[in-house]
């Protein structure tokens, strides 16, 4: 059985983010063939084309982090029916300059939590569109729109409700299978 390193990106910059808590739960429930490293996005300046000829250290570090992992897990809230600006900014940095897209053929999955019953359904739709353009193969099933309740998730990532724990465990097992399928089918990009 192959092992894979998953870089995870949390769409919220808040240290108290419920999506940070969700990421801790996902890591705890993941199968043993997955290891995790956070890809931080909080220190990135706002992307603009002027940087393409001379990427700042933060942009180079982000691109190197994405390149160094086997897959990317996006754990994101929904802001105003879309993805947070910081997350979109990070994707812009990772996909530029033109011809040097770090997401090309990088397997990805999207999940998110919200206090509302719709979870992060609309943000995920928006993010999937962006990732599709970035040529990142996406695990599209199961979809995971998590309604966050503090009595279900502890701050350190324990999941106290059996049905939620089973679903998230299955989601992560499916992601491991998806990563293996993509890496077994699509040759890695050059470089």
Mean pLDDT in residue range 129-139: 97
Kindly indicate the confidence band of residue 64, based on its pLDDT and cuts at 50, 70 and 90: very high
Mean pLDDT in residue range 158-163: 96
Identify whether the C-beta of residue 105 lies closer than 8 Å to the C-beta of residue 132. no
E strand or H helix at 10: strand 4-10
C-alpha distances (whole Å) from 155 to each of 12, 17, 113 are: 16, 10, 14
Place of tokens 């049905």: 163
Report whether pLDDT(65) > 90.
yes
Mean pLDDT in residue range 131-139: 97
pLDDT of residue 189: 58
Report whether pLDDT(191) > 60.
no
Identify whether the C-beta of residue 71 lies closer than 8 Å to the C-beta of residue 7. yes
pLDDT of residue 129: 96
What distance separates the 2 farthest-apart alpha carbons in the chain? 51
Half-sphere exposure of 92 (CA within 13 A, CB side): 16
Neighbouring C-beta atoms of residue 69, cutoff 10 Å: 20
Q: Quick check: pTM over 0.85?
A: yes
Neighbouring C-beta atoms of residue 167, cutoff 10 Å: 16
What rounded mean pLDDT belongs to the chain? 95
């Amino acid at each position: 059985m192959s092992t894979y390193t998953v870089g995870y990106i949390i769409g919220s910059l808040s240290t108290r983010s419920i999506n940070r808590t969700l990421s801790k739960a996902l890591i705890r429930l993941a199968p043993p063939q997955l290891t995790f490293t956070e890809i931080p996005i909080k220190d990135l300046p706002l992307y603009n084309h002027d940087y393409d000829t001379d990427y700042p250290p933060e942009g180079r570090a982000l691109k190197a982090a994405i390149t160094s992992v086997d897959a990317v897990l996006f754990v994101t809230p929904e802001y105003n029916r879309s993805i947070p600006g910081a997350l979109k900014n990070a994707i812009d940095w990772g996909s530029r300059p033109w011809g040097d897209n770090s997401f090309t053929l990088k397997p990805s999955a999207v999940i998110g939590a919200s206090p509302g019953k719709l979870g992060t359904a609309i943000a995920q739709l928006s993010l999937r569109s962006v990732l599709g353009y970035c040529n990142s193969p996406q695990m599209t099933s199961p979809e995971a729109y998590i309604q966050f309740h503090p009595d279900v998730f502890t701050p350190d990532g324990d999941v106290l409700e059996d049905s939620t724990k089973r679903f998230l465990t299955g989601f992560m097992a499916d992601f491991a299978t998806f990563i293996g399928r993509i890496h077994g089918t699509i040759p890695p990009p050059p470089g």
